[in-house]
Structure formats: structure tokens, C-alpha cells
A and B are shown apart, each in its own frame.
Chain A
Amino acid sequence: MTANVWLFIAQLATIAVILVLVYRPLGDYMAMVFTSPKNLRVERGFYRLIGVNAASEQSWPAYLRSILAFSAVGILVVYAMQRVQEILPYSLGLPATSEHLSFNTAISFVTNTNWQSYSPDVTLGYTVQFAGLAVQNFVSAAVGIAVAVALVRGFAYKRSGTIGNFWVDMTRSTLRILLPFSVLAAIILLAGGVIQNFSGFQDVSTIAGGSATIPGGPVASQEAIKLLGTNGGGFFNANSAHPFENPTPWTNMVQILLMLVIPFALPRTFGRMVGDNRQGLAIAGTMATLFAVSVSLMTWAELHGAGTAPQLAGAAMEGKEDRFGIIGSTIFGTTSTITSTGAVNSMHDSFTSLGGGMAMLNIMLGELAPGGVGSGLYGILMIAIIAVFVAGLMVGRTPEYLGKKIGAREMKLASLYILATPTLVLAGTALSFAIPAVRSDVTSTSIWNPGLHGFTEVLYAFTSAANNNGSAFAGLTANTPWFNTALGVAMLLGRFLPIVFVLALAGSLAKQDRVPVTNGTLPTHRPQFVVLLLGVIVIVTALTYFPVLALGPLAEGLL
């Protein structure tokens, strides 16, 4: 046990040290990417191709329209590719997928959720994986970063009608951030033993003398962007638990870092762009604190697993890979759910009730510690606005954040933002049980573990979808018309409704002048504000989800 605790601290410290080292250079680099007036030659070519004037900025409605159009095209393309898979090259002989599965998968990858209702290695061929899903892995992440940067510009700009140019932001995130770092990451993963080939299905003889069919594929390259872009959709169904995706504890650590590196550096970008690095540090500090507490709680729950089997095994090892152990699994599990990745290296369904509950709570927190690429930053800034509002009133001033007044319009948008996701989660879960026909389908087909655990699985599915996480609790058969459709809708609205509110807010902030800082201004760069922000995040989430958590993991865990 003591050894475990030290191992945990050592791993966490390693992560912390690397993230601290990367924070400044990467954050500053990203800030430079989004403020530099220069375009690369390849970018200029691309802008000419799509007819965009890179020098002109967009108003928030124009920015939003661009995102929506871009994403709509993305969904259509991915949907169509799946529907005609059998005629595509390199399909490995796999047939076209069903309408509802194609719908679900298309939305899933365009919304950066990467929820997979299917086993990817035996459902989708190379063309769909590469030209469809991998492309979305890049651009959906780029969209997230673009939205975050647009919001940051809202804070940074003064009396401006524009918040940047979506096409420029998206192209630069892809070409200057995601692509080069993915290449680097793929090489590191390759070196760590992750496979990269185009050899299709291989028949092999096992040691015991039987035979098995093992799919191969370009795994390392997929893996890099899966984690770097907090996507989470694996090449294999087993995701990062599969030895071809994540062979060693060493690659496990690399994967964890890949998920965290961009979301944790974005606050620096934010601080840099608004001209006050301390503001970025406060946000990063809030994220780090929440992360540390969360990962500690999950690890504690797994190490002290209740029940006969865990007691005998010394810990809750069911559903975990021996090579990662408890610590490697809980750190990965926490990272994956608290960013919007949703990759798994162990089965969350088999976690102890409270450990699994933590995974769900991480997603419910709104994935903002540090959250998905971009979405984590804009998520925490939206909550910060609520925190600033209440705290601002308490110091006797019209609340302001970074010199921008939080008035009725800003409050309306921030409120709608925090309203959207919980409503989707709760309504989706409730409808699964409230509509009689759906209920019988859900209970007879989808839920394999009846009772509280089955309820938890459905709740987890909707939580994961509406928050664009994509991790699955497993144990739930989601490839049914109801779940594919309902979760698809939850993913779609869970992604784009918040984006609408964020961009509208960015627009109204950019229009404002900046109020000068005085003694009477609420300081938002001190530990005091970090504590306040943590309090608001936890209380707002806890109050919203406490009853359903009580019905699910808590009732189960405290039985």
C-alpha cells in the first residue's frame, strides 16, 4: 500500500514537472500562432483555395456561421463515407455501417467526442479511419481551440466588432500546433512500441496452438492525435488498454501527458493574449488543484476497493491491465475523463462504484480541469464569469472580469452555457426510462447489469455524450437505434449550443471597453480567486448532479 502511494506521488510529480516545464514555451508559442500577422505559404494557398481573406476578421455571428458550416460539411462527409464503405478502397472488405450508427459516429467525431458505439477495428476500414475520422480528429480539436481563442480575444479586444477569423484560427491550430506535435508524438509512441502498418487482418497461431485473427493498422499516427486532440477514439475497441495502442507503462505515461499538454498550456496563451500572465496562472492553478484532488480520490477509491474480489487481490484489479496497475489506470482514467478525451486504458465499468463515480463526476464538472483542447479553457472561463459575478457583487461593484463588465447579456449567455449540458444529460437519461417503448428496449437490450449499475451505465453514457467526452462505461450496448440517435443528438447539442453561447459572449465582451483596475476591483489572479472558482465549480456541479449521483454510484457504493 505504501509502495502504491509513493508510486502515485512519483508519477504525479513527473507529470507535474513536465507540464510546468512546457507551460510557458508552449503557451507563448500558441499565443504567437494566434496573434501573428504572417501566414505560411501553404496556408496562403489554402486561403486562396477556399476564398478567405486571412487579414479580415469576423464578427461573432460570422465566426459562428463558419464553424457551423464547416462542422455540417464534416458530418455529411463522414456519414457518407461510412454509408458507402464497401466501395471505398482499403475497406478491408468491411460492409457499410447502419444509418443510425453512421449518424452517431459522424457526429461523434466532428464534435470531438469520439464516442464509439461499435468496435472500430472490425467495423471501419482504413479509408474511413484515415480520410474520415483522423481528419476530424485534427479539425474538431482545431475548432475547440479556435472557439477558446475567440473568447480570449473577446477579453483582449477593446471596442471591437470582430473576434478573429475562424478559417485562420482553424488552419493555424491544425498546421502549426496539432500536426507538428502529432508527428513528434507518433515518433515517440513508435519508439515505445506502438504499431504502425497497413497489413490488415493477420491470421496468427497462438502459443497454445489455436489461431486468431489480429487486425493491424496505422495505429501510432492515430494514437498521437487521439490523445493530443483530446479525441479519444481508439483504433481498437479496447482503446488504450490494447497492447498495440499502449504497450508499456512508459507509453502510458506519454499518453497521459499528450492529453494534458495542450489544455494545460492554453491558460498561458490566455494570460499572454490578455496581457496579464498572472490571470493565466490562476486558471491553470485552478485546473491543477481540481485535477490533483480528483485523481487522488479515484486512486484512493480503487486502492481501497470494497468487495470480496478487490480485498483478495489487494486492490480493485478487475478490468485493469496488469502492466499499468492501479496507479497507471487511475491517472489515465482521471486524465481521460477530466480532459474531454474519453480514451480508456482500463474498463471504467469495472472500477469500484465510487471510483467509477469519480470518472463520471470528472465529466460532470464540465471537463475543465484542464478539459478538452480549447473546450476546457472556454468552459472554465464561462464558470469564472459566474464566479466573478457573485464575487463582484460581494465587493460592491458591477462585476467585471479582466476589465469587462458582466452585465445582463453576459450573465444570460453564461447561465445558458451552464444550463445546456446538465439539461441534456438529465433529460436524455430520464427519457431513456420514461418512454415506455424505449425503456423496454433499454432494459432488455442495452443494459447488461440490471439495477443501480445499469442505471449508472445509462447516466454515464449521456454524461459522456453531452459533455463530448466519449469514454464509455462499457457494459452498455449502445449500438441501438435509441442510443445511437439520442446520444448523437446529445453530442451535437452538447457541442454546438455551448459554442453558440461562448461566441456570443466573446462578441459582447469584445465590444466593451476595458474598465481600469483599481483597489476596488476584484483581483482575479490571487489564490483567493482560485479558491472561489473551485468552490463555484464544485458547488454548481454538485448541486446539479447530487440527486442522480445518489441514485447511481453513491447508492451502489454505500450499499
Chain B
Amino acid sequence: MSTTTETPRITPTPDDGTGPGQRPSTKASSSAFSFAQLVAALPGAFRKLDPRQMVRNPVMFIVEVGAALTTLIAIAEPFIGRADSAGQPLAPSFTVGIAIWLWITVLFANLAESVAEGRGKAQAQSLRATRTSTLARRVIQYSQTDASAEATAIEEVSSADLTLGDVVVVVAGEVIPGDGDIIFGIASVDESAITGESAPVVREFGGDRSAVTGGTRVLSDRVVIRITSKPGETFVDRMIRLVEGASRQKTPNEIALNILLASLSIVFLVVVLTLNPMASYAGGVNSIPVLIALLVCLIPTTIGALLSAIGIAGMDRLVQHNVLAMSGRAVEAAGDVTTLLLDKTGTITYGNRRATEFVTVGGATLTQLVSVARLSSLSDPTPEGSSVVTLAEQMGHTEESVAGAVIVPFTAQTRMSGLDLPDGSQLRKGAGSSVASWVGSVSPALLAELTSVETRISQSGGTPLVVATRDSTGKARVLGVIHLKDVVKEGLRERFADLRAMGIRTVMITGDNPLTAKAIAAEAGVDDFLAEATPEDKMELIKKEQAGGNLVAMTGDGTNDAPALAQADVGVAMNTGTSAAKEAGNMVDLDSDPTKLIDIVRIGKQLLITRGSLTTFSIANDVAKYFAIIPAMFAGVFPGLAVLNIMGLHSPASAILSAIIFNALVIIALIPLALKGVKYRAVSASSVLSRNLLVYGLGGIIVPFIGIKLIDLIVSLIPGF
């Protein structure tokens, strides 16, 4: 069992995944979208027009080719004459209008991607500042015999020249030159450059807090560090690549979706290519710009334009939560997670046992017990001790400590701590058996009473701490028991219920005995628990779950967590953890807050939902576009088809142009949604689907009918249309 060093905070997070969960910090603001962002992204959008880049997005590439072709025709038209379409003349500015709007469509798609990337760029900028080359003091021929490296020769090199396995010395005020593990010493480190958290953290040799990150600053003391990263592959380097989206690879679901979009595009390409030969028989041949317009309206441009922006924004949302995913694949896997392994300590409970109750025995009064318990704890520095004081003060006990009292610290031998007062009386609190033997003879009745109280407390998941005194005459007596309890964090029960509704099972991992574990599991509302768990047990559990087809997510920080982190489908390493753990996991939580796993799952789901919803919307849009374009294409030859013009669009030219304009505008209108993500509630899949089908499916059919009609009203004012 590993524990985290700082008392972790709970970060209650509202449904849309933004809010107090993310800290105000050096990070870019998460406000979804602004006009300024659009303007800033414009140059990038133009650069992306390069066909070599566009070809990676087949849907938008088709639009670009169509735009280029229409532009050529628009330029040639004044010289070669304008072709009629299906026997009807089109407005002189028709081809030009289509060409312009097709380019705008492509540009809007690029804009979406640029805006999404822009947010990451700002973060990368601030991270880069930490990566500037510093001077490192490298130990020449480090040896174990001189662990502190005080007697060994040291050379000064640039931090960029450090390689794997080098050992460096860093003292207060210096910047740590690279990622590594402390192999000697202890220091407080300012990691705000990376985590945004201004409070310094302690890093020391041994244990699970030995990892340091390059670019952070040592505030006190002197440490010897072994470098664990290659140049150019440090944590910060990886972070920069991630937030910039440079190392972004398409995730499995994204690839599958791209295949669907590409094949829909091919179907429509076939539809459009075969249309004229067939129409020629009936005398309804259409001009090329009209056919291109039809094609662009039919292929799923909306989702094609926004797909990569959705992916980038998903990663970005994680970064807003101070979580770094090493790959988009991991983010997606988070959405699929079916089993969540949560460490009890620090995640489900506050990690420190707290006093919650005083129980008197043997006729002692509550005042006596509380007073003694408080006095004996006043100089007890442990969290347990201070919690006793806090509870006592809440009950109105504020007696000053007695001057001249001698502190008896806790030792593993005595298993007690307390206070020896100047008058010769002694106050003790400690484990039941130790206190009993310290007291000496205890009447059988009292012993029975004591045992029953202790058993009750143990069974409820708590720890009993027996309080006793020995007055100056040497007469000892047991006063009662302090109930120390692992306090379950507030609000967790509801979150686990949410998870259950989402179809995710939570399993609590604890080193406690099964009895205690069971009580805490019941209190916290987790679905299952693993008691007296060793790292091997944890690994076994993960493998067992995976064999049953489950996807497992877990958090960990210690080196002994590393194998399990690597085995889990989503392994979130705490930033405070060892570099082995950080290396093994596929995400790193900079806040080292294990409860964040729940937010990560939510973000993963939201990413997929956004993609699915916009795909549905995009395909549903085609219905209205058909009703705009088909009558416009053929009503000249077959007047009966005018019946299909149910929107009552002004003219064929205005109908086609309006459909194209709608097609472009809907992209820009949906950028905020793509960046922010579709709203996600923790309910069953069935009700999520119903809602999204209604909003994006039915909405996707209805909205363009209204949109195209409105645009047509404006377009029809243009002379010639």
C-alpha cells in the first residue's frame, strides 16, 4: 500500500467537466471560445490549406478539390461561356458564389482545428520557458561509498548534455536540470511550473516521493539526483508535444469513424459521378459546379471538419484538469472503463484516521475522559493526535497544557504515547493490550466492557485507542476509548452511485483487514473491495477483471504499483510518485489527486459522445439538403419534382447556394460545441442515447430546413438569384 504525501482534496466537478476541479493557474483559461481566438487562429487555418496537409482529412480534401475546380470554372466562364444546368440558366454570379463558399467551408474546418490547437500552444509556450538550458553540476564517477557526493569531483555541463544515468548535484535556489530520482538527501521543491500549484512539495530519497522533474526549482537543502530521461525526452518535452498536439495520433475510434466517413463520401461520390450519364437520357444534365455543390452538401463535412478539433479539445480538457494523457488512446480507453480500482487511503478516505467519538468505561465521566485524552494528545504531532484535540475542543474542552509536563512519545515497543505531569501523575493513550498491561490489574468486568467496546469499534471499521491514567499515588485506571475512524470523504457515495449508473464498478483496494475493509466499503458505497492487498494481489485482480473482458482503470504512485499501472488499461500515475510509476502509467495527474480518475472517465466518455453526436447531426443534415438541391437540379426538366421543394426556396440557384452556405456556417456554429464537448450526465446508456438521438438526430433533420430557408430569404435578395 502506498500513500500520498499531501492530504488530497476532493474536487467536486460539475457535469460539463469544467469548474472548480481545475485550478486557476498559469494554464490557459478554459473558456470555450471567443472571437479573439478565431482571429488568432486564422493564419494557421490558411496554412492548413496546403493540399499535402488536407489529404489527411479525406472529407475536407474532397471539398478543397471541389473548391479548386469550381474556381477554375468560375475563371474560365467569362471566356468559354456559362453552361446551363438541366436546361435552366443560372445566375451569372452563381459559380463565383459557390467557389467562394466552398473555400470558406474548407477554411472553417481548418479554423476549428487551429482554434483547438491554439489553446494547447499557449500552454506549450509557458512550459517551454522552463526548458531553457541550465547549468548542471555532474558528478564524475559517482560511487555508492560517497552517497552524498561531497568528496567526489564535479564538472559543470549544460543540462542539454545530460544523458541517462548521469548523477547531478542540485542545491537550494537551483533549477533541476532533468528528470530523475533523488538518490541522496531531501529537499523542498517548487513544482509550480508544471503543476501550477504554488505550495512547495517535499522530495526525498527512498520511498515513493523520490522523483523530480526537470525545470522545477529546489527551494531548500541539497540533493543528489540520478537522471532518468534521455535528452529531448524529458517529462516537460513530452508535455509540450502533447499539449501542442504534435504527437497526436489518431485513436482507434477515430480511425473507425474516419473509415465510416470516407466510405460515405465514396458512396456520394459514386452517386454524383453517375448522375449525369443517367440524367442525360432524360435530358437533365447538370453543370459541374452544381454537381460539386451537391457532392459537398452530401458528404459528411460537418463532422469531417470538426473531428480533429474534437480530439484535440478532449486532450485539452484533460490538461485543464491537470492530467496529462500520454496518448489519445488512453483518453478513449478511459471512456470504456468498466472497473475502477481505487486505493482506500487518500482516495476514498482522508488517509488519516480521525477521532470521532469518546466512549467511557468503568464509570469514568465523559469530562474526565475527554480532558485526559486531549491533554495526552496536545503534544502528539501525528494527525491522529491533532484530531483528538480538535474533537475535544469541539466538545468544549480548552484546558491549557500543564507547564513542566514531560512528553512521552510513541514507540513501537510501548505502543503508547502520553504525558507525565509534574505532580507525578501519568496520562497514556495507546493500543488496548499495551494500555491494559500498563495499567496492571484490571477487573474482569471492566475488561469485558473494554473488550466489547473495542470489538464494536473494530467491526465498524475504526481503530480503538484506550485512554488511562495513573495518579501520583500510583493507582491506575482505564477511563475509556477513543474511536479513531477512517473518515470517508464527503460526496463520494453519490459519485459512486453515478458511476454505477454509467455502468462502472468500483473496487476499493486496502491493506486493512477484511472486517474493517468491509465496513468502510459499505460506508463509501463501493461495489467491492480487496482487503489486505499486496501489489501482487492488485495485479492479480486486474488480470482477473481483464480476463472477464473488463477494462480497468487505477491510480498509483509507488514503484511497486508500476507493474499494475502498466497492466491496467488506464493507469494514472500521481505526479508525486516515483518515475517508475510515471513511466508505467499512461496518464499522469499533476495534482496527485486519485479521485480525479472519475473525472478522467467522464472526459473520455464525453469525447466519444461528442464525436458520435456530431456524426449523427452531420448525416441527418443531408435530408434537408436533398430537399433543397434535388428539386433545384431537376425541376426545370421535370416540373413535377417542384413538389419536393417543400421549403419553397426562391430559385434553383438560390437553393443550391443556400445549402452550401448553410453547410459552411454550421461548421463555425458548432466549433464551440466541438471544443466544449457535448453535455454528459451520469445516467444509463439507454437514456443518454435517447437524449442525444433526439437532440442531434431529430434536431439534425429539422435545423437545416429552417437554416436553409432563412439563408435563402437573404440570398434571394441578390440580383440574378
Contact = CB atoms under 8 A, between A and B. Distances in A.
A is bound by B: yes
B697 to A, nearest CB: 7
Nearest to B631: A550
Interface in B656-690: 680, 684-686, 688-690
A408 interface: yes
Nearest to A415: B263
Interface stretch (A16-24, A222-230, A370-378, A509-517): A509-517
Contacts of B689: 391, 394-395, 522, 528, 532
Contacts of A515: 338, 549-550
Interface stretch (B359-367, B404-412, B591-599, B601-609): B601-609
Interface string A399-424: 10001001110111001101100110
Contacts of A73: none
A350 interface: no
Contacts, number: 214
Nearest to A435: B277
B500 interface: yes
A244 interface: no
A202 interface: no
Nearest to A535: B697
Nearest to A434: B277
A430 B274 contact: yes
Given A412-B259, A547-B630, A558-B641, A396 B608 contact: yes
A237 interface: no
Nearest to A450: B281
Contacts of A513: 549
Interface in B598-644: 604-609, 611-613, 615-616, 619-620, 622-623, 626, 630, 633-634, 637-641, 643-644
A423 B270 contact: yes
Interface in B125-182: none
Nearest to A554: B641
A396 B270 contact: no
Given A520-B684, A539-B620, A386 B336 contact: no
B685 A407 contact: no
Contact of B685 (A397, A455, A516, A558): A397
Contacts of B260: 386, 389-390, 411, 415
Interface residues of B, number: 76
Contacts of A391: 612, 689, 693
Interface stretch (B29-37, B206-214, B248-256): B248-256
A555 B267 contact: no
B548 interface: yes
A72 interface: no
B503 A521 contact: yes
A443 B252 CA distance: 50
Nearest to B504: A520
Interface string A414-449: 011011001100110111011000010001000000
Contact of A519 (B502, B620, B680): B502
A451 B364 CA distance: 108
A65 interface: no
B501 interface: yes
Given A390-B616, A407-B256, A411-B260, A555 B641 contact: yes
A26 to B, nearest CB: 31
A201 interface: no
Nearest to A526: B686
Contact of A551 (B270, B284, B504, B605): B284
B252 A408 contact: yes
A398 interface: yes
B332 interface: yes
B280 interface: yes
Contacts of B693: 391, 394, 532
A454 B500 CA distance: 60
Contacts of B615: 390, 393
B692 interface: yes
Given A408-B259, A543-B298, A550-B644, A394 B688 contact: yes
Contacts of B281: 433, 439, 443, 454-455
A32 interface: no
B278 interface: yes
A25 to B, nearest CB: 31
B626 A393 contact: no
A426 B274 contact: yes
B55 interface: no
A59 B497 CA distance: 44
Specify which of A397, A434, A439, A526 lies most central, judged by the most chain B CB atoms within 10 Å of its CB.
A397
Nearest to B332: A398
B502 A418 contact: no
A551 B263 contact: no
B338 A516 contact: yes
A184 to B, nearest CB: 42
Contacts of A68: none
Contacts of B259: 408, 411-412, 415
B271 A544 contact: yes
A37 to B, nearest CB: 27
Interface string A535-548: 10001001110111
Interface in B257-278: 257, 259-260, 262-263, 266-268, 270-271, 273-275, 277-278
Given A430-B274, A518-B338, A520-B338, A396 B641 contact: no
Contacts of B690: 528
B685 A559 contact: no
B448 interface: no
A550 B613 CA distance: 29
B169 to A, nearest CB: 48
A150 B375 CA distance: 78
A416 B638 contact: no
A408 B278 contact: no
A462 to B, nearest CB: 11
Contacts of B268: 543-544
A429 B613 CA distance: 35
A397 B605 CA distance: 6
B479 to A, nearest CB: 50
A131 interface: no
B279 interface: yes
B577 interface: no
Contact of A419 (B267, B332, B605): B267
A517 to B, nearest CB: 8
A437 to B, nearest CB: 14
Contacts of B294: 547
B644 A551 contact: no
B609 A396 contact: yes
B282 interface: yes
A452 interface: yes
B335 interface: yes
A559 B640 contact: yes
A24 B260 CA distance: 35
A523 interface: yes
Given A392-B612, A422-B270, A518-B504, A403 B263 contact: no
Nearest to B269: A423
B277 A408 contact: no
Contacts of B282: 451-452, 455, 551, 555
27 contacts: A390-B615, A391-B693, A393-B612, A394-B613, A395-B692, A396-B604, A396-B607, A396-B609, A396-B688, A406-B256, A412-B259, A426-B270, A429-B274, A430-B275, A433-B278, A433-B281, A520-B504, A521-B685, A523-B686, A539-B620, A542-B626, A543-B267, A543-B623, A548-B275, A550-B644, A555-B638, A558-B638
Given A429-B278, A543-B268, 20 more contacts: A386-B260, A393-B253, A393-B608, A396-B604, A396-B609, A397-B336, A408-B256, A431-B277, A433-B280, A518-B504, A519-B501, A521-B685, A522-B689, A523-B685, A543-B623, A544-B268, A547-B626, A550-B630, A551-B634, A554-B640
Interface of A: 386, 389-399, 403, 406-408, 410-412, 415-416, 418-419, 422-423, 426-427, 429-431, 433-434, 439, 443, 451-452, 454-455, 459, 513-516, 518-523, 526, 528, 532, 535, 539, 542-544, 546-548, 550-551, 554-559
